[in-house]
Amino acid sequence: MTKPQPSVCVYCGSRDGAHADFAQAAEDTGRMLAANNWRLVYGAGDVGLMGRVARSTQAAGGQTFGVIPTHLMDWEVGKRDLDSFIITETMHERKKVMLMNAEAVVLLPGGAGSLDEFFEALTWRQLGLHSKPIFVVNTRDYWTPLSALVRHTIDQGFADDNLLDYATVVPDVPTLEARLRAALS
């Protein structure tokens, strides 16, 4: 019996952001996923970092699984040339389908949508609804304030210290790759 191809859910921006390093990290992530034969699961957009990670995964011969809600088809330019392309009715359905079809989660730089996806995955992990590893790629220290916010919720008595165990901050894509290899082996 063949072991199924692992899938990695990537949350990231539908914009490129203010620094070229963000785009580079997205493209490096896509190539890294393909090189390890890990399927990309993502929000099915063809704009911003989302588009970059998908196109670089495809260009490197990797598999792609995209999930997009109907109302974002035009805005995020639904990327229909993916290996799997699923259209949902709601954002909540999108997040559920993405998370349930992956063995690990990666957060690249992004905005409110990426934060929403991250916090839902983190909360579900905290509640025991999944045990998938979550990795935060801290390109140009982008997510340092997020780490401080999570620490603040603990310090102020709204979460236990173990909340820090559910998401691992990594500095770059090579470190992410090493951590994913350990987690998915």
pLDDT tens digit string along 108-163? 999 999 999 999 999 999 999 999 999 999 999 999 999 999 999 999 999 999 99
Give Cβ neighbours of residue 67 (< 8 Å, ≥ 6 apart).
41, 42, 43, 44, 86, 87, 88, 94, 97, 98, 101
Indicate whether 3 pLDDT > 70. Answer: no
Confidence of residue 75 (pLDDT cuts 50, 70, 90): confident
Asked whether residue 48 carries a pLDDT value surpassing 90, the answer given is yes
The Cα–Cα gap between 87 and 110 comes to 22
Q: What amino acid is encoded at 166 in this protein?
A: Y
Given a cut of 80, whether residue 38 has pLDDT beyond it is yes
pLDDT value at 62 more than 90: yes
CB burial readout 107-127, b (16+ within 10 A) else e: bbbbeebbeebbebbbebbbe
User: Does the structure show a pLDDT above 70 at 55?
Assistant: yes
Residue 82 clears pLDDT 70, i.e. is over it: yes
Q: Assess whether pLDDT exceeds 80 at residue 173.
A: yes
% residues pLDDT > 90 (the chain): 93
What integer is the mean pLDDT of 76-91?
93
**In the chain, what are the domain boundaries?**
14-184
Averaged over 38-62, what is the pLDDT?
97
In this predicted structure, the answer to whether residue 1 has a pLDDT above a threshold of 80 is no
CATH topology for 14-184 is Rossmann fold (3.40.50)
In tens, the pLDDT along 86-106 reads 999 999 999 999 999 999 999
Question: Encoding tokens for residue 59?
Answer: 């260009």
Burial of 97 from C-beta contacts in 10 A (0-12 / 13-18 / 19+)? middle
Average pLDDT score over the chain: 96
Place of tokens 């236990």: 160
- pTM for this model (two decimals): 0.96
